[in-house]
Structure 1
Amino acid sequence: MVNYYNILEVHEEVSAEEIKRSFRTLIKKFHPDINGSNKKWAESKTKIIIQAYKTLSDTHSRKQYDTLHKHSQNKQNTVRDAKPKTSSTKSEKISMEIRIIFSDLLNGYTSSAIEKYEYLLNTSPDTDFFLHLNHRDFIDCKFLLAEAYEKSGEYELSIKLYEYILEKGKQAAYRQHLLEETKERIRNIYCRKLAKKSSPDKALIHYQNLLKLDLCKNEQAFVYKKMAECSLKLQDYENALKYLHVALSLKPKLQGLNKLRINLNQYLQNCFI
């Protein structure tokens, strides 16, 4: 059962006024308009915050919720007490650490989350998050980690996480909006961050990786144009011509080709001298 008190970051004996105050603070913090880089996640976050507030701000619904919540806690305690009282297993400890990492990410403590995440990978390199989180939380956790690395300038690490999300998220039709946003972020990182700051040969690799995504024709044409430009810088005129031809076959009216065409025409003229 979802703990609405935790969602609103208040304790169970809190007053109605404190609930309202916390609700207003959280809505401002997670409002989609100020979380443009992660708008879909912010919308999901504010939705549950609003639901929690509606439930706890009404005296009657709060009383009903408290009854159900108490019953749920008692049930969990009963199951827990029925288990042998032995020390926590390694798996249980890892599950707890992953939950803490996820909580830090949800609450914006990205530096702390990354530090704990990297420590966990170093101490338990074979850890599979998917075994410790349900599918929805798993995808969200990986997405927030990727976003945290992207914001810190660790683009190679963020790309790996984003690409992992695409692979693992394929079966989750209800998260298509997140997968589309993930693909958009991958495109932006490859084009605007990695390829732009790389040498032509390395940029080519980034563009080739980008082509593995399910891009539309216009996007493919743009990538092939950039590959032609990289090949030209490497004086690989044959591949430059090949990539340019592919780009134009995908989008005949592709813009920004004047300089590329001039250089390639000079090459072709020299070939027949």
Structure 2
Amino acid sequence: MDIASHRAIVCRGCSEVFEETQGEVINFYEVLEVHHEATADEIKRSFRRLAKKYHPDHNSERTKWAEAKMRVLLKAYDILMNDQQRQEYDKRLRPYLKSSRDPYRENLAKRAEDPAAQARLILYNLLNDQPHEAVDIYERMRDKDKAFEVWQHLDHKDYLDCEFLLGEEYERQGNWKNALRFYENVYHEERNSPLRFFLEEVKDRIRDIYCKKVARRCKPLEAVKIYEKVMAMGVSKKTEAYLHKKIAESYFKAQQEKKARGHLKKAFELEPKLKGAQKICEKLAVNN
């Protein structure tokens, strides 16, 4: 969908979005998640990425919220893509930025070659609603040094907060591989710890990503290993039954019907009223 179409969808019957709200200037660079020296191509790429994320068609349960997000995105795009308007806007924005400076963030940002400072900056951005910037810094540090990890530079509690929030942001971006890496780091750290801040939450997220995102894109026998891995983390009886059903479906796809029947049997032993099993029962000629 082109930019004109985005504008038509969200602007019909909508009031104009102004650069100032209650006396404060909206930072359109932050709205579009670009730096102040961003080129037109960078602005356009970021706009398109965010427009897909916030488009009302992708947010059917909160369309008013999505329309408001899109109005601000469009206003930001219009201003920053027009050279004259951007210059005038920058003049208005400059005093606001000076009055809203964050010395702690600025001090850490200046120490770009200091891994400890950058680890703290990653956490600071995550805790202050700048997750996209946090990920950018993390990836920049990893590009410089593949061995860089935040746990090397933060105390245990801060490290767990940072890892969990990085996983959350990668999940939001649809980067399942990195999301799982961070979530699993937290899971393994907390599994044997007397203080468990994230354990149940992170188990649920790992399970959902593996089962709903990763396994569906895998070959059947690879999916079996994923379901078994999730089961080994410890799940409820109902979830275990669901996982045995998914393993049965995977073995059937792999033409291993004996194993498929065995797991389907286990599923019904755990959950006699198991839902969603009709198709696999028919395929295996199993009466339930």
Q: TM-score range by the shorter chain?
A: 0.5 to 0.7
Structure-2 separation of matches of 1:172 and 1:108: 28
SS in 2 for 1:265: coil
Give runs of aligned pairs for residues 119-158 of structure 1, distance below 5 A: 119-158=140-179
Structure-1 separation of matches of 2:275 and 2:259: 19
Q: How far apart are 1:172 and its partner, in Å?
A: 4.1
Q: 2:281 aligns with which of 257, 261, 267?
A: 261
Q: 1:114 aligns with which of 135, 145, 149?
A: 135
- Aligned counterpart, 1:24: none
- Aligned counterpart, 1:238: 258
Q: How far apart are 1:155 and its partner, in Å?
A: 0.5
- Aligned counterpart, 1:218: 238
CA-to-aligned-CA distance 1:179-230 (integer Å, 9 cap, x gap):
1111111111112222234443333232122122111221111101011011
Structure-1 separation of matches of 2:267 and 2:191: 28
- Aligned counterpart, 2:118: 97
Structure-2 separation of matches of 1:135 and 1:170: 14
Gaps of 5+ in 1: 1-87, 269-273
CA-to-aligned-CA distance 1:2-29 (integer Å, 9 cap, x gap):
xxxxxxxxxxxxxxxxxxxxxxxxxxxx
Moved more, 181-190 or 245-254: 245-254
Structure index of larger Rg: 1
Q: How far apart are 1:259 and its partner, in Å?
A: 2.0
Give runs of aligned pairs for residues 1-273 of structure 1, distance below 5 A: 93-176=114-197, 178-265=198-285
Structure-1 separation of matches of 2:162 and 2:226: 25
Q: How far apart are 1:237 and its partner, in Å?
A: 0.5
Distance change in 2, residues 1:206/1:168 (3 Å) = same
Distance change in 2, residues 1:198/1:128 (3 Å) = closer
Gaps of 5+ in 2: 1-110
Q: How far apart are 1:128 and its partner, in Å?
A: 4.4
> If each structure's helix is expressed as a fraction of its own residues, which one has the higher value?
1
SS in 1 for 2:191: coil
- Aligned counterpart, 2:42: none
TM-score, with normalisation over the residues of structure 2? 0.56
- Identity among equivalent positions (%) equals 32
Moved more, 110-119 or 246-255: 246-255
Code of the aligned partner of 1:122: D
Code of the aligned partner of 2:207: R
TM-score, with normalisation over the residues of structure 1? 0.59
Structure-2 separation of matches of 1:194 and 1:229: 15
